[in-house]
Amino acid sequence: MTTATTPITSQLRAAWQAGCGLIWPVSCPGCGRPDVAICADCRGSVAGPGFSTPMVGWPLGWGAWAACGYRGPAARLLIAWKERGRHDLSRPLGVGLGAAVRACRRARADPYREWLLVPIPSTRAANRHRGRDLMADLSRQAALACGRSWTGPPPRSVNVLRHARGVRDQGELGAAARRANLRGALTVRSAVGTSLVGRDCVVVDDIVTTGTTAAEAARALTAAGARVVGHCFLSVTLRQQGLADGVPLH
């Protein structure tokens, strides 16, 4: 029965997809290839494996990992995801963030403690504009991706940070001004209480430029008693980290 109906099912699925394509044309936002939500090449551009990346001005011992550079198809995928309503990209992008988290895990000495993935919170205005909390989605997808090949308790995504006050647009500020702008800007949600004391947390975000926001997130978590074991990002702006364009991305 299964063998006889499989071709029919495939034909119906193909017809349904073709009909949807006529009404709502779709193309890969990374390269423009038509009739595919994301092509295999662009999916691979953000999938990792993760690599360690230096962060200028960070304290010794702070580690950062990413899955790709913010350029080419990877940058276009992120822009489509954040600004053009392509929320369906959360899963493939989450696979890339998960690759960075796994690389961080391999670099740490104790692989058996549970890790909490803590996304840097988006502002309420950004969530309203995008229709949802995309960073929470990305963090959850990263946790799911990690769970397929993980030693010890699988990681969990927890939204425990919030904005304590408003901040200026970071894009118009230099490094020192960015640090001053974000100092004390994030805090742990009051409902969390003491549940983070002694817990291993990983700060996660989609893009890292100077690392100022990630550093502020680490400060807030540490103040709540958490142990920040790493900072993981889907993508890194290579030139701003003093890295050559030819740095390996996978």
pLDDT of residue 2: 39
Task: For residues 20 and 36, give the distance between their C-alpha atoms in angstroms, rounded to a whole number.
Answer: 12
Burial class (CB in 10 A: 0-12, 13-18, 19+), 10: exposed
pLDDT digits (tens, 9 = 90+) for 158-193: 999 998 776 655 556 555 656 666 666 798 998 887
CB 208 within 8 A of CB 236: yes
pLDDT tens digits along 2-22: 344 455 655 555 554 445 445
Average pLDDT on 204-210 reads 92
Q: Indicate the Cα dihedral angle 155, 159, 162, 167, nearest 10°.
A: 70
Listed as own residue / partner, the contacts of 188-194 with beta carbons closer than 8 Å and 24 or more positions apart are 188/160, 188/161, 188/162, 188/220, 188/221, 188/223, 188/224, 189/159, 189/160, 189/161, 189/162, 192/160, 192/224, 194/224, 194/225
Report pLDDT for 17.
47
| Contact residues for 94 (Cβ-Cβ < 8 A; gap 6+) | 137, 138, 139, 140, 141, 142, 144, 145
Structure-block tokens of residue 87:
């929320």
Task: Please check whether residues 71 and 11 belong to one and the same domain.
Answer: no
The predicted pLDDT at position 8 comes to 66
On whether both 108 and 122 belong to a single domain, the answer is yes
Are residues 32 and 107 both part of a single domain?
no
Average pLDDT estimate for 204-215: 91
Average pLDDT, the chain: 82
CA 197 to chain CA centroid, nearest Å = 24
Evaluate if residue 90 carries a pLDDT over 80.
Answer: yes
Kindly state whether residues 237 and 210 are assigned to the same domain: yes
Regarding whether 87 and 76 lie in a shared domain, the answer is yes
Are residues 113 and 201 both part of a single domain?
Answer: yes
DSSP for 170-193, written as a single string: GGG--HHHHHHHHTT-EEE-GGGT
Task: Kindly state whether residues 83 and 206 are assigned to the same domain.
Answer: yes
Question: Among residues 238, 192, 241, which one has the least CA distance to residue 212?
Answer: 241
What's the token pair of residue 124?
């309420």
Q: 232 versus 111: which is more confidently predicted?
A: 232
Band (54; pLDDT cuts 50, 70, 90): confident
pLDDT in tens, 60-82: 677 899 999 999 999 999 999 99
Kindly state whether residue 250 falls inside one of the protein's structural domains: no
Does 27 share its domain with 66? no
Residues 235 and 131 reside in one and the same domain: yes
230 DSSP β-pair partners: 202
The pLDDT score that the predictor gives to residue 250 is: 45
- The residue segments making up the domain with residue 151 are 40-241
Identify whether 52 is part of a domain. Answer: yes
Tens of pLDDT, residues 23-34? 567 899 999 999
Sign, CA torsion 155/157/158/163: positive
pLDDT given for residue 227 in this prediction: 94
